[in-house]
Structure 1
Amino acid sequence: MTGTRARLRAAAFSDIGLHRATNQDAAFTSTWGAAVADGVGGGPAGDLASATFIHRLAAGRLDGLEPLQLADSVRSANWDLRAHVERDPSLLGMATTFTGIFVARDGGVLLAHTGDSRAYRLRRGQLVQVSRDDSLVQALVDQGLVSIAEAASHPRRNLITASLSGAERDGAAVIAFDAPVGDRWLLCSDGLTDYVPDADIRALLVGIPDAAAAAEACVTLALDAGSRDNVTVVVCDIVDPELLRRTRGLAARRAELAPTSFYGAAATRFMEGLESSA
């Protein structure tokens, strides 16, 4: 899409799962961006880490940014985690993964990523993982020590090598993509991808046109497959805002102005007094 900024028709679904006491996943969706974050297991207050980061990021309304601006916004949101730790030292070590897409100034989208939450793009029926896991097992795959098939069931596949914890060195890789109308993006926590093959995810994304229904179906499939983690899925369709305005009238314009939506831990923390950021 050239000359006109893309818009997202995005929805998400998050479930605590059958084996966890809290939902440490958090997500948000809007017409200008969407993201998922997963509190790092083994550390304190993973739900606080993911929700804090998601709310701070969404409050900035990151619409039409350059890559360096998005990277700066990620660092600013990461500082909120440090502020929590400075107020309460017992939170030292809390951290979160992060994967999000945002409408770029040039009409494309920007992917920002750290950790092992993933981003996939569905284009003309082909599903491709476009994020790279920051994980020990991915490093072993890169070195040729573990095959991709072995990585899927490796006992240490959940050990990540990068996250956001409020530390000065933290950051996210930012990559630019074109955004033709019709592309569909999926962002998810590893509660989906550790249990559901990419081929099964693709089948749902191809077969279910509605973004909200597709997100819920992916989560349901993961739970049915025995996921032992929280599961959060965001589905984003690239749409033409001009076409929407011409063909859907007032209802579409109201939808474009709808508030940012929050899911998982982000839906239960910090909601009071939140200003609309759409």
Structure 2
Amino acid sequence: MYHFYSQTQRGSKSSKNDDCFLINNYIAQNGSYKAQSKKNSFIIGVADGLGSAPKGSFAANYLLEQISQHKNQLTHALILNIINNVHAYLGKEFFCKASTVFTIVYSSNELITVYHLGDTRAYKLTKRNLIQLTNDHTYVQELIDAGVIGDGMRYNHPYKNVVKQSLGGKNGIHIDVYNNVFEPDERLLLTSDGIHDYLKKEEIEGILRKSTNIQENVINLINKSLEKGSSDDLTALVVKYM
């Protein structure tokens, strides 16, 4: 049995919520959603429209709508095709004014495939540790990977919000694809940067381990991020496999 819970809300500095989440065929850019399923497959996602793009919220919602419309026919090739087609459409129709980053997870028979572009994230909580499944496509992450700065400097770096890849942007894209397993008693977490730009990995893990209730997990992640000063849009999505 899979249990799902997600919540998204507009940041205090935002005029609208550019975040969006997907749980199977349900998409939202406001509020929360709770569900469960006995099926052996699911599709989830978090997309964050770029604030610098006037149509960022449209781009985030449009991508997840296209994925959801094919929920019952999804394959690896189809998901990649949808993502690339959305990139081409947004670029052609909106001239880089509709861009989004995203993390999408497709699960089938305990095997998960993560599709990622930008600075949203996917984590997996196991009995032993919290594993970050994605790598940010940001200027600061490039500095960290090159050894120019330490990981702890990411939270206060003046250019921490500079994203190097986005869907619908002017440049070509390289979609990161990660394969993993999702086993009983594990949890998946998807977040937008309004969460993980303000909470360190150990803080996120501590919140998840404090309760097995995924609704409490999400609410506590959002509240702690606000407490730490987050003014960005905030989205967290948790899946528990029992």
- The aligned counterpart of 2:228 is 225
- The aligned counterpart of 2:34 is none
- The aligned counterpart of 1:53 is 63
- The aligned counterpart of 2:198 is 195
- The aligned counterpart of 1:212 is 215
Shift of 1:17: 2.2
- The aligned counterpart of 1:99 is 103
- The aligned counterpart of 1:244 is none
| Partner amino acid, structure 2, of 1:165 | G
Residue among 40, 48, 51 paired with 1:38 = 48
Q: For the residues of structure 2 that align with 1:195 and 1:178, how far apart are their CA atoms?
A: 28
- The aligned counterpart of 1:14 is 8
Shift of 1:168: 8.2
Is 1:26 matched with 2:30? no
Query: Identity over the aligned pairs, expressed in percent?
Result: 24
Contact 1:62–1:102 (8 Å) recurs in 2: no
- The aligned counterpart of 2:79 is 70
Is 1:149 matched with 2:157? no
- The aligned counterpart of 1:174 is 177
TM-score by length of 1: 0.75
Contact 2:96–2:170 (8 Å) recurs in 1: no
- The aligned counterpart of 1:258 is none
Contact 1:186–1:234 (8 Å) recurs in 2: yes
| Partner amino acid, structure 2, of 1:220 | N
Aligned length: 226
| Partner amino acid, structure 2, of 1:22 | K
Shift of 1:234: 0.6
- The aligned counterpart of 2:31 is none
Over 3 Å counting, the alpha-carbon distance change for 1:62 and 1:232 in structure 2 is farther
Describe the superposition over 1:122-148 as per-residue Cα deviations: whole angstroms up to 9, x where unpaired. 000411211000011111111111111
Structure 1, 24-33 or 135-144: larger mean CA deviation: 24-33
Which runs of 5 or more residues in structure 1 are unaligned? 1-6, 240-278
Which runs of 5 or more residues in structure 2 are unaligned? 25-36
- The aligned counterpart of 1:110 is 113
Shift of 1:186: 0.7
Over 3 Å counting, the alpha-carbon distance change for 1:137 and 1:178 in structure 2 is same
**What is the DSSP-based 3-state SS (H/G/I as helix, E as strand, rest coil) of the residue aligned with 2:147?**
coil
Greater relative contact order, per chain length (Cα 8 Å cut-off, separation 6+): 1
TM-score by length of 2: 0.85
| Partner amino acid, structure 2, of 1:61 | K
Shift of 1:113: 0.4
Contact 2:11–2:230 (8 Å) recurs in 1: yes
Contact 2:89–2:168 (8 Å) recurs in 1: no
Q: For the residues of structure 1 that align with 2:73 and 2:210, how far apart are their CA atoms?
A: 30
**What is the DSSP-based 3-state SS (H/G/I as helix, E as strand, rest coil) of the residue aligned with 1:216?**
helix
Describe the superposition over 1:142-188 as per-residue Cα deviations: whole angstroms up to 9, x where unpaired. 11111111122111011011110076833521111112111111111
**What is the DSSP-based 3-state SS (H/G/I as helix, E as strand, rest coil) of the residue aligned with 1:170?**
coil
Shift of 1:39: 0.8
Contact 2:106–2:114 (8 Å) recurs in 1: yes
CA RMSD of aligned residues (A): 2.1
